[in-house]
Chains A and B, each alone.
Chain A
Amino acid sequence: MSEHMATNGFSRRRFIELGFGGAAATALAACGGGKSAQDAATGNKSTAAFNGKYDGPAVTLSYWNGFTGGDGPFMKQLVNEFQQENPKITVKSNTVEWAQYYQRVPAAVTAGKGPDVGAMHLDQLATNAARKVIVPVDDVAKSLGLSESDFTPEVWQAGIYKGARYGIPLDVHSLGMYYNKDQFQKAGITEAPKDAASYEDALGKLKSANNNEPFWMPSKWPAHLMFLSLLWQFEGAPYAEDGSKATFDSDAGVQALTWMADVVKKGYSPKNVAQDSQYVAFKNSKLSVTWDGIWQINDLKASKLPFALAPVPVIGTTNAVWANSHNFYITKQATGDDNKLQASKVFIDWMSKKSAEWAGAGMVPARKSVRESAQVQETTQAPIAAEIAQMKFLPPVPGLGDVQAQTLEIAVADAILGKQAPAAALSSAASKATKLMEANQKKFGA
């Protein structure tokens, strides 16, 4: 009783807001759903030959995704079109914010009330595969006639966990450099800077021409994505490919983080940039350049800001940028019913082919044939699409995202806020990350 009265409705509200996952989780756990996981995982039998059509009885597919932003309307449109072309398949969409998505999907699938098919980020596939939430889709890839050459090796390989494929890529989305065209013009910069020297030169010009701090260095999102990009640019790797240890405290890591901290020290960024404020300030023309995900395109377009998008400049010694990818998956839940399984495959195939329309959501279609289509070449993100070979993805290691949030992200924030020197912050975070990764390996049986 005291708890209800006490926390001003916040404990209760928490329950509704985030706690859903938790409440569901405990309830499910009580139902002892764990055991069925293994049965289902092995239940991925390949059924009748796949021809891209569904001719069984009417079936309802539960489709979950996290497209809550400017990408949402495009996904709705695609689902509607699919329904019209496939009247026998009813798609029930459930859109959950990504932040909660990865808590809810395992809980819901364990209870048998989750999605049959859905979209998730590439770096979450391994985790959910290890948890037996999703099942291999090798046969889908095969029947769709998809192979590495249709995508890029990086995005294709990152969907493989323990020798089996778990996702069919829909798109890739990387970090990009957004800049304010008016302010660039005022500073006399005609071309987006491409390397460390020209970038620093541009920042200097911008600072004096616009009398501002031109490049705010965030301490929260997307600071860790900037760090990962720079780390790869300095030819380092954040983690061992096999998930045995963290390596982001290498010289490359220290160089990357030092560069980021120096942006603040040199006065190109104010100190203490809090959550989201660099983006809000960019939208309000208070700064000239910001690095953010290309999925922000539609939001920036809506704000009527005179902006352009260019690839992240090469600060290190090689061209590289952090990227992620939305992948379609099938859950163990769908494998119990052949019709659902078949319908899910038809759905994924259809979506994958229609990914040119998805480019409207600000993403870069993963399929090569689609990516090179005229429709994509005309988009704002076209310059990013051209850089797809430079995109780097996190290795498929289960539980990695969670490790990263507890270690790498904290170290990056500490260094940018000036609480710790980059090298010290990274080395203590990396040793902790290695410990967590070792525990994960034991847990998931790597």
Chain B
Amino acid sequence: MTTSAAPLPAARGTDQRDDEQLSSTGSDPTASRRSATLSGGAAPWLFLTPYLVLFLAFVVGPAIYGFWISLHDYDYTLPGKPFVGLDNYQKLFSSDSVTFEPFWMSMKATGIFMLFSVPLLLVIPLLVALVMNSRFRGRNLFRAIYFAPYVLGVAVVAVLWRFLLDANIGLVNQLLGGLGLPDDTAWLTATPAAWVALVGVTVWWTLGFNAVIYLAGLQDIPAELYEAARVDGANRSQSFRHVTLPGLRPVLAFVTMVTIIASANMFGQSYLMTRGAPGIETKTAIYYIADTGLKSFQMGDAAAMSYLLTVVLMLLSVAVFWLFRERKA
């Protein structure tokens, strides 16, 4: 559903490599003849076929099927799946339906989570990447340590932190108490502490990934630019603003997009750490959709909710693209 957005910046990186390969094979006489005969209509499509087949089978197909499901009162275990038109969508907008309140609460939960996790996941990894990019002893160890949590699965991370953050028997509160700070914060059962916990754990867990992407971006910025800036008399913060940031722009767009989508998909952390507590305040949209579709078997409702979430995410993606668009000076 969100694939339309992200590949673009990534493609930018691979384009060049493809060009090189093409030009190198171009010098081969047989290859050039073949490309001459096919370059008309079929060739590009033939090259695209492997991906296109997968894309149609696993993205476009299910997306259309999902939309069809969203127009039905769909429970696959029951023989009757009556067509209900846009009822499933309408229910999400009429306040007297049973799905209205929990759905919008879950959208709000996802929104709150994104609001705090996205900025943190954009800034902190950048700082980490800047440090990792400078030369010092033990740099590789430092890089490994920051990346390490990322290789853990959500189940490991969430269960680990659930015990550490437990209000009454957790290590975190015990340590805070030892330092003379309040030791009765309900990290898992009360907001806003639960949001601090969920966002904090997510940042700890995933910052390594963003940092590595940033790092790759930083290493791509030619050293000559920094040199030139120095010659022009730029200080460190000026060269950061006028060389590093513009150089990172494509990477930044990619990281922003990926982080927004990852945050919008937040599920495992609240599923395992808080179980949506208190009440359903930390039950995110994906969590609620999964419950509705896979536990209550109300797949029509769940599909409608997914589509609505998709639309919201698409609008967000457009906004981000607009924000990072190539500006003509």
Residues of chain A having any CB pair with chain B under 8 Å: 1-3, 5-11, 13-14, 17-18, 21-22, 25-26, 28-30, 33-35, 37-38, 102-103, 106-107, 110, 131-133, 216, 219-220, 270-275, 277, 280-281, 284, 286, 399, 402, 405-406, 410, 413-414, 417, 419, 432, 435-436, 439, 443-444
Contacts and interface: CB of A to CB of B under 8 A. Distances in A.
B265 A7 contact: yes
Contacts of B294: 18, 21-22, 25, 103
A1 B75 contact: no
A9 B206 CA distance: 10
Interface in B240-292: 257-259, 261-262, 265, 267-268, 274-275, 277-280, 290
A2 B166 contact: no
Contacts of A273: 167-168, 189
Interface stretch (B37-45, B215-223, B228-236, B295-303): B295-303
Question: Max chain B CB contacts within 10 Å: which of A219, A271, A273, A274?
Answer: A274
A272 B167 CA distance: 7
Contact of A17 (B155, B163, B279): B155
10 contacts: A1-B3, A5-B258, A26-B62, A37-B79, A271-B186, A272-B168, A277-B166, A399-B296, A413-B278, A443-B73
Question: Max chain B CB contacts within 10 Å: which of A30, A133, A273?
Answer: A273
Q: Determine chain A's interface SS by DSSP, over half rule.
A: helix
B78 A34 contact: yes
Q: Which 8 A-B residue pairs are closest in the complex by CB-CB distance?
A: A2-B6, A272-B186, A6-B262, A10-B154, A131-B77, A29-B76, A274-B188, A272-B189
B144 interface: no
A426 B294 CA distance: 26
A14 B268 contact: yes
Contacts of B169: 277, 280-281, 284, 286
Nearest to B73: A443
A281 B168 contact: yes
A3 B261 contact: yes
A399 B292 CA distance: 12
Contact of B10 (A1, A11, A26, A30): A1
Contacts of A402: 295-296
Contacts of B278: 219, 413-414, 417, 419
A405 B275 CA distance: 11
Contact of A38 (B10, B79, B163, B290): B79
Contacts of A17: 155
A219 B262 CA distance: 29
A274 B159 CA distance: 13
Contacts of B65: 26, 30
Contacts of B69: 29
B111 interface: no
Interface in B52-94: 62, 65, 69, 73-81
For chain B, give the interface size range: 35 or more
Question: Max chain A CB contacts within 10 Å: which of B5, B62, B81, B167?
Answer: B167
Contact of A275 (B81, B154, B188, B293): B188
Contact of B290 (A22, A220, A405, A410): A22
A33 B78 CA distance: 9
Contact of A133 (B77, B80, B102, B299): B77
A157 to B, nearest CB: 25
Given A8-B262, A34-B78, A131-B77, A274 B166 contact: yes
A30 B299 CA distance: 13
Contact of A6 (B62, B258, B279): B258
Contact of A10 (B81, B261, B267): B267
A57 B293 CA distance: 41
A11 B265 contact: yes
B279 A272 contact: no
Contacts of A271: 167, 184, 186
Interface in B162-186: 162-163, 166-169, 184, 186
A436 B97 CA distance: 10
Contact of A106 (B6, B74, B77): B77
B77 A443 contact: no
Contacts of A18: 290, 294
A34 B77 contact: yes
B148 interface: no
A220 B274 CA distance: 10
Contact of B258 (A2, A22, A30, A132): A2
B200 interface: no
Contact of A14 (B81, B154, B186): B154
